[in-house]
Structure 1
Amino acid sequence: MDEAIWLISDGRSGSTWFSRLLASARPCHIEHEPIHPLFTPTLTDEAQLPLPCDPVIENKLVPLFEAIRAGHHRTARFGESDRRADGGLIIRDVFALMVAPRMIELLPWLRPVVILRHPCEVAASKCALSDWVWFSQVEMLARDEVLLAAFPQLPRLIARARSPFQRYVLTWCVAHAFLLSHIAPSRLHVVRYPSPLEAARRNVAQIMGCEAPEAAFHQAYVERSPTDRPPDGRSLLTRLIHPRRAPGETEWQWANAMLHEFALEPWFPVSESTAGLSRAKALAG
């Protein structure tokens, strides 16, 4: 197997959905979240979100990915149904954002594809799930020398990120700013989530090098992800304790302020329906 498509994103960003769109073009093995410490025994004692300075990259992640490429390692994230290898390899992971630049340097056979969803929507989706426990430990970001050198404002922003929503947004911005500034644009294919059907179809054709059959593509496009939990699948008590709601103006302000702090505004221009750039800057302080 010469190359592998590596889908990189934060959680709740459509990576499971898009991996299946890619596999609708031709049958592929989808390796779901090999860096997940709950599903890969060799990573059980490692940090849930590996950082740029973490020796786990060379010591464990590179050998793990080589084993995946050789077919010697398969995670059981969604069971046996995705274990199709004749059409290629897709590796999908939401834990890889800050180790991806080094991994791609060490493993040139990885073809990175990053999926971008607005951090306000990502954080709101995480907050709506009572069992989501990943990526809110922002204090650990300031312990990484590479991140501190790249983002000297980190300690100030960490002190201000008090709620789970704010902490999710901050981690999102740090991870994506680091990724997008350390991988050459010519090597990185960017996909927006959500994507209109025709835009998704074009992205699949560009990445896979072939058009997906109409029926297979449409089925994958409308199918719910196994990681999505619709409201009607939750208990009444859970819905009362953790109601789903759209982000409010204050949450949009915080997210847009963080996009400004990390120079990510070109990816997500502040819309007229949110607070506006001047108020976002003021909120960032």
Structure 2
Amino acid sequence: MPFARAARTALRDAAREATFVTDRLAGGYANRLWLLGDGRSGTTWASSLINSTRRYRELFEPVHPTLQPRFRFLPIAAYARPGEPWPELEAALGEVFSGRVRGPRLNLGAAWGGFRRDLLVKDVFANLIAAWAAPRFAPLVPVLLIRHPLATALSKLSADYQWIRRPTLFLEDPRLIEDHLHDVADLLRRVEARGDPLLNHVAVWAIVNAVPLRQFAPGQAHVLFYEDCLVDPVGEMRALHRKLGHGEDWWRIRPDVLDRPSASSRASDVGARRRSPYGAWKAQVSPEQLAAADEILAAFGLSDLYDPEGKPRREALAAFPAGGG
């Protein structure tokens, strides 16, 4: 019955809200993990993978310029230059990483009951502010999740949501042009003028992944490939948690996490483990689109991140500061 379902939802949300209060009264969070990625790159599923043992308290996309009132001051393509002051952003993020920020949507999929000393924040609109924020909220470990650009773009096209659809939106910030986009500004304008939504998403993907890969210092962030997590979830979680200093009990993965669709998936989606990990996008991309996408990726220095079959090349990360540690 609708009333019973609404009552259960209200009770669940109230219980989850109470756990954040319990955490704060218990002394707050000793360790913080910030999972970052583009939209439709698998961040919701990856957060369940990381938190399979439910040791983390989870926050779902608090840095959302349209759906979270606390962050409506941010432009949708927000960029923070490392080292520059931004008091309003620092105050808002302080509420996030202390667990003071509130709202039912923030608790989507979060474990509740008891208290936690570790916090996992997952965001898809924060890639360009993460390097600015990370040193301000230590101990905070950023984890950048990357999925193949064409798989990500096709997934965005199939899901009607508030994605950034125009790569030239990033050209509205002169600091971002000066720091990262000066050499590709004309290319971004040409891509948008072409009018192909797929290529627009590829260009956005290139921006939101290239910038943090350039900004994070060696060893400051951990990079995950979505496809590697599909193929070897235990190995990828072992590498991450060992880097964090955690023991084996942190990377045990429940079978239901692997097999069920994520909390933000569409009803038609299957569990991540039953998806083809490589190259399923090829049947939906024309040769002309593939060539244009390759041109975009090459302009950002990203063309070597994946091989022609769609398999990640982790060794290619060495070309970026973030891949040096």
The root-mean-square deviation of aligned C-alpha atoms, in Å, is 3.0
Specify which of 134, 138, 142 is matched with residue 112 of structure 1: 142
Specify which of 258, 262, 269 is matched with residue 300 of structure 2: 262
Report the residue type matching 1:61 in the other structure: L
Which residue does 1:246 correspond to in 2? 284
Specify which of 4, 19, 23 is matched with residue 47 of structure 2: 19
Q: How much does 1:257 deviate?
A: 1.7
Specify which of 221, 228, 253 is matched with residue 188 of structure 1: 221
The TM-score with structure 2 as length reference comes to 0.71
Q: How much does 1:264 deviate?
A: 1.2
Specify which of 213, 233, 250 is matched with residue 200 of structure 1: 233
Structure 1: segments with no counterpart, 5+ residues:
234-243, 274-285
Q: How does 1:92-107 map to 2 (within 5 A)?
A: 92-107=122-137
Q: How much does 1:78 deviate?
A: 6.0
**Conserved? CA contact 1:39–1:76, under 8 Å:** no
**Conserved? CA contact 1:98–1:178, under 8 Å:** yes
Which residue does 1:158 correspond to in 2? 188
Which residue does 1:82 correspond to in 2? 110
Which residue does 2:258 correspond to in 1? 221
Q: Deviations over 1:80-115 (max 9, x none)?
A: 651545151101000011111111132232201110
Structure 2: segments with no counterpart, 5+ residues:
1-28, 271-280, 312-325
Which residue does 2:75 correspond to in 1? 47
**Conserved? CA contact 1:204–1:212, under 8 Å:** no
Report the residue type matching 1:157 in the other structure: L
**Conserved? CA contact 2:35–2:142, under 8 Å:** yes
Q: Deviations over 1:247-266 (max 9, x none)?
A: 33333222222111101123
**Conserved? CA contact 2:167–2:200, under 8 Å:** yes
Separation in structure 2 between the aligned mates of residue 223 and residue 87 of structure 1, nearest angstrom:
27
Separation in structure 1 between the aligned mates of residue 269 and residue 46 of structure 2, nearest angstrom:
23
**Conserved? CA contact 1:14–1:194, under 8 Å:** no
Which piece of structure 1 moves more, 64-73 or 184-193?
64-73
Does the alignment pair 1:173 with 2:210? Answer: no
Specify which of 61, 71, 76 is matched with residue 99 of structure 2: 71
Distance 1:78 1:101, change over 3 A: closer
Separation in structure 1 between the aligned mates of residue 85 and residue 255 of structure 2, nearest angstrom:
37
**Conserved? CA contact 2:145–2:225, under 8 Å:** yes
**Conserved? CA contact 2:127–2:208, under 8 Å:** yes
**Conserved? CA contact 1:204–1:211, under 8 Å:** no
**Conserved? CA contact 2:128–2:212, under 8 Å:** yes
Number of residue pairs matched?
262
Report the residue type matching 2:161 in the other structure: W
Does the alignment pair 1:136 with 2:165? Answer: yes
Query: Tell me, what secondary structure is at the counterpart of 1:30?
Result: strand
Separation in structure 1 between the aligned mates of residue 222 and residue 68 of structure 2, nearest angstrom:
27
Query: Tell me, what secondary structure is at the counterpart of 2:228?
Result: coil
Q: Deviations over 1:185-219 (max 9, x none)?
A: 31121111123556321222333323358985221
Separation in structure 1 between the aligned mates of residue 137 and residue 108 of structure 2, nearest angstrom:
26
**Conserved? CA contact 2:81–2:132, under 8 Å:** no
Identity, % of aligned positions: 24
Q: How much does 1:65 deviate?
A: 2.5
Distance 1:204 1:25, change over 3 A: farther
Query: Tell me, what secondary structure is at the counterpart of 2:248?
Result: coil
Report the residue type matching 2:225 in the other structure: R
Q: How much does 1:126 deviate?
A: 0.5
